Structure 1
Amino acid sequence: MKINHLTSAEENLMKLFWAMNSFYLKEVMEQHPEPKPHQNTVSTYLKILVEKGYLSTEKEGRIFKYTVIVPFEDYKKFLLKELSHNFFHDSGKEILEFLMVEKLISQDDLRAYFDLKMELKPTKVKAPKLEIANEILNPKKDKKGKDKKKKNKKD
């Protein structure tokens, strides 16, 4: 699924729509914080967001029910990848350095994150191969039932 860029006004409305997931225009107008935009403005944005593939519509009588198609997590991933590509040369290291310099993340945050993410899994230790010990303790016998060492001494 291709995700398109949103304007800041579209993004602000989508934040409300992501919280609602499925809704009617009337519900949007009721839930929108003050100052509320005009109903025609919201209706226009709904049409645009349907065209951009963020919302789907289902006609119920004379009104439309809108449903979110693009999950919020997918949009966040899209934005972060765009940011990384356009401003940080696709480098996670550069992003992390920037976050540290700007004090948007601390070393304690990172330490706590990695402490939570690290799972201590016991490693499977392979039993040692005791080939030499087995040869000494269990010498191979030839067909006559004699030890190989004794045969070698006769030669």
Structure 2
Amino acid sequence: MKINHLTAAEENLMKLFWKLDSFYLKDAMDRHPEPKPHQNTVSTYLKILTEKGFLSTEKEGRIFKYTVIIPFAEYRKFLLKELCHHFFDNSGKEVLEVLLDENLISKNDFADYLDLKIELKPAKNKQPDYEFANEILKTKKK
């Protein structure tokens, strides 16, 4: 699934839509914080977000029900990859250095994360295959 960039206004509305997951225009208007945008504005953005592939529509009588297609976690990964690609030459190490230097993640938190991710698995001892050696060493039958 290809993810497109969102404008700031689209992103703000999507934050609300991600919380709702499946909704009608009226639900979005009711849940939008003050100051509420005009209903036509929200309706226009719903059309744009549907065209961009973030929402799907299902007609129910005379109204549409909207459902989020691209989850928030996927969009967040997309943004992080774009940031890494455009500003850090695809270097995760450089991203990590900035996160640690700017105290956006503490060294202790990072160390704890690594401790959780590293699993020590017992080594699997594979029995050697002696088939070839047995063939050579096999005594000849008379």
TM-score clears 0.5? yes
1:4-153 matched pairs, under 5 angstroms: 4-126=4-126
List alignment gaps of at least 5 residues for structure 1: 130-139, 144-155
User: Could you tell me how far 1:102 is from its partner in structure 2?
Assistant: 1.0
- State the partner residue of 1:149: none
Amino acid at match of 1:70: I
- Partners of 1:76 and 1:56 in 2: how far apart? 19
Calculate the aligned-residue CA RMSD, in Å.
Answer: 2.2
User: Could you tell me how far 1:22 is from its partner in structure 2?
Assistant: 0.8
Amino acid at match of 2:48: I
- Partners of 1:111 and 1:23 in 2: how far apart? 41
- Partners of 2:44 and 2:82 in 1: how far apart? 27
- Partners of 2:45 and 2:140 in 1: how far apart? 90
The normalised TM-score by structure 2 is: 0.86
Amino acid at match of 1:3: I
- Partners of 1:142 and 1:3 in 2: how far apart? 69
- Relative distance call for 1:16 and 1:127 in structure 2 (3 A) is same
Q: Which has the higher contact order (CA 8 A, sep 6+)?
A: 2
- Partners of 1:101 and 1:80 in 2: how far apart? 18
Q: List, as ranges, runs of 4+ consecutive aligned residues in structure 1 with deviation greater than 2 Å.
A: 124-129, 140-143
Q: Could you list the per-position Cα deviations for residues 122-153 of structure 1 after superposition, in whole angstroms to 9, with x for gaps in the alignment?
A: 22235689xxxxxxxxxx9888xxxxxxxxxx
The normalised TM-score by structure 1 is: 0.79
